[in-house]
Amino acid sequence: MEKENKRPLILVTNDDGYYAGGFKALIEIAKSFGDVVAVAPEVGNSGMSHAITIKVPIRLRLLDKTEGLALYACSGTPADCIKLAINQVLDRKPDLVLSGVNHGSNSSISLIYSGTMAGAIEGCLNGIDSVGLSLLDFARDANFQASVVYGKRIVSEVLRNGLPKGTCLNVNIPEGNVDEIKGVKVCRQNKGRWVEEFEKRTDPRGSNYFWLTGYYCNDEPESTDTDEAALNNKYVSIVPVKVDLSDYVMINTLNGWNLNESN
């Protein structure tokens, strides 16, 4: 009888494309713990949030298959990658979903725009322990040494302890070498917002077009228990994220309104 494979099955994706340095770092992390199926977008999908493809077909290409690793390129979004992998690629439910390592921060309000976190959240919606990882460095040749070191620690603990149903982890790693990082802090999401500005330009044919620019505004710069505070002080931040967005306090308030009475 063939011996049953006891190694965890880990599904990985990202939003920067299958060729990104951060994705290679994530595969390195995942291969330390189990067999890896990597399904990532063909092109960058930053800022796509939880978008899915419904108007055109989704294409999937097998790029490489070696012992313990199968790598696919997908024409869709990070959420598409996870959906398609679970439905069409894998022969069983994965033990873990990892998304990243993103080139750039996904702390504070950025997580709602993040294709990286959408990949993790899609895994969570399917009842799979899921983690999104991001490095505070947008450079193509960013140093992912610390991401690998701390990523392995976090993945080890998630596999050992598990996560509550409906909760995934948003992990952000400061820029710099591993010896510059002070440790890990479990935090809440910082209250902040992107102040968006659109730069208006004119093309050679005289038509206007716009480039999105802007800057992040920290609405609680004095707080010490947030992901932004941790990152600013050279700590890895971990924010547990729930997929249930209900405001339970407001439910009670709305139930006190005269919503069922005619005016």
| pLDDT, tens only, 126-140 | 999 999 999 999 998
Q: Which of 124-128, 209-213, 258-262 has the least mean pLDDT?
A: 258-262
The CATH number that domain 9-190+222-242 falls under is: 3.40.1210.10
Q: How far apart are CA 110 and CA 194, in angstroms?
A: 8
In terms of residues, how long is the chain? Answer: 263
pLDDT number for residue 197:
87
* Residues 44-84 pLDDT 10s: 999 999 999 999 999 999 999 999 999 999 999 999 999 99
- Give 4's pLDDT tier (boundaries 50, 70, 90): low
As a whole number of angstroms, the distance between CA 90 and CA 17 comes to 20
pLDDT band at 6 (very low <50, low <70, confident <90, very high): confident
pLDDT band at 196 (very low <50, low <70, confident <90, very high): confident
Q: Give the N- to C-terminal CA distance of the chain in Å, as an integer.
A: 74
Distance separating alpha carbons of residues 52 and 76, to the nearest angstrom = 7
Per-residue pLDDT of 151-189, as tens digits, reads 999 999 999 999 999 999 999 999 999 999 999 999 999
Buried residues in 125-149 as b, exposed as e (16+ CB within 10 A): bbebbbbbbbbbbeeeebebbbbbb
Neighbours of 220 (CB within 10 A): 14
pLDDT of 248 > 50? The answer is: yes
The rounded mean pLDDT for the chain is 95
Contact 185, 237 (CB under 8 A): yes
Cα–Cα distance measured from residue 37 to residue 65, given in angstroms and rounded to the nearest whole number = 9
Q: What percent of the chain has pLDDT over 70?
A: 98
